[in-house]
A = this chain, B = another copy of it.
Amino acid sequence: MNLSNILNKIAETLKKSDKQTEKQRKIVEAAISAFAEKGYSNTSTAEIAKMAGVAEGTIFKHFGTKENLLLSIIIPFIKDFSPQMADEIFEEVMKDENLTFEKVLRNLLENRINFILDNREIFMVFIKEMVYKEELRNELLPHVINEVSKRLTRVIETFQKRGELIDKPVSEIAKFLGTSLAGFFISRFVVLNVPAVSEEEMEEFIQFILNGIGQSSSH
């Protein structure tokens, strides 16, 4: 299964998603919860059916395979995660000349933290399967990295021009920023499984990033 197959599956999934039945919704909810807790491989379709209050056959009527059920959860999440992440923010950046990198970073963090808190279990499913299954990692990771770095690159270029970021290759700064953000999200929401991130902790992290790649614009 290659990326284009996956994209076909996305298409399928989305086509069906308008007419999503009550039962379909319950299946997805149950699957998310179970996959987040025990991982895809350790969850049986029988369990999901029981949790969702449907017959096992119903899952296969709607999703065809267990694998497809997983993708129906992960792919919309991926598609939502990066686009929303920066498009709106970038609009603002371009509009408002007085917006500093620090403010943008804070917006971005707040925005993504809220997004993940709203989709906490799906995020866990996504990260777990990404880390766990070589196959999925090879297929999804490049796509995610690509999408995220496209957006980060635009932001970095803009602020580098405004003299707010250090004068290193954009790709390097993007990598630093990307792995730092990923590390922050994964450690808090998947490994440590915290219920929320305090203002304080967020500020520390922001300062930490600024120390790493920022420079006072007066230079």
Cβ of A191 under 8 Å from chain B: yes
A183 is contacted by which of B42, B127, B130, B186 (Cβ under 8 Å)?
B186
In contact, A131 and B132 (Cβ under 8 angstroms): yes
A187 is contacted by which of B134, B183, B190, B204 (Cβ under 8 Å)?
B183
Contacts of A204 in B (CB 8 A): 172, 176
CA distance A57 to B141 in the complex (A): 38
Cβ of A212 under 8 Å from chain B: yes
A126-145 to B contact mask, C-beta < 8 Å, 1/0: 01101111100100010000
Residues in A45-75 with C-beta less than 8 Å from chain B: none
Least Cβ distance of A49 to chain B in Å?
13
Contacts of A180 in B (CB 8 A): 183
Contacts of A207 in B (CB 8 A): 212
CA distance A212 to B137 in the complex (A): 31
Quick one: closest B residue to A137, CB to CB?
B191
A173-214 to B contact mask, C-beta < 8 Å, 1/0: 000100110111011001100000000000010011001100
Can you report 20 residue pairs joining A to B where beta carbons are below 8 Å apart?
A: A38-B133, A39-B41, A39-B132, A39-B133, A39-B134, A41-B132, A42-B132, A42-B133, A127-B131, A131-B131, A131-B190, A132-B132, A176-B208, A179-B183, A182-B183, A182-B191, A183-B186, A208-B208, A208-B211, A211-B211
Q: Which A residues are within 8 Å of any B CB, using their own CB?
A: 37-39, 41-42, 127-128, 130-134, 137, 141, 172, 176, 179-180, 182-184, 186-187, 190-191, 204, 207-208, 211-212
